[in-house]
Amino acid sequence: MIAYDLQCSRGHVFEGWFDDEAAFLSQQRQGLIACPVCNDVSIARLPSAFAIRSTGGGGTQTADAERIVNQVATFIRSHFEDVGSEFAKEALKIHYGVSAPRNIRGSSTPQEEETLRQEGVAFLKVPVPATPESDA
Ligand SMILES: [Zn+2]
pLDDT attached to residue 62: 64
In a domain, 52, yes or no: no
* 100 CA distance to ligand 1 middle (Å): 65
In a domain, 127, yes or no: no
pLDDT attached to residue 38: 97
pLDDT tens figures, 112-131? 999 989 988 888 887 666 65
In the three-class reduction of DSSP (H, G, I as helix; E, B as strand; rest coil), residue 47 is classed as coil
| Beta strands 13-18; 81-84: pairing state | unpaired
> 114 and 62, same structural domain?
yes
The number of distinct structural domains making up the chain is: 2
List Cβ neighbours of 103 (8 Å cut-off, separation of 6 or more).
Answer: 79, 80, 81
In a domain, 53, yes or no: no
> 64 and 40, same structural domain?
no
pLDDT attached to residue 56: 52
Strand extents, DSSP E, 23-131: 43-45, 81-84, 104-106
* 31 CA distance to ligand 1 middle (Å): 13
Residues of the chain with pLDDT below 70 are: 48-63, 127-136
* 10 CA distance to ligand 1 middle (Å): 5
Domain of 112 in residue numbering reads as 58-119
Phi, psi of 82 (to 5 degrees): -80, 115
* 39 CA distance to ligand 1 middle (Å): 6
pLDDT attached to residue 53: 47
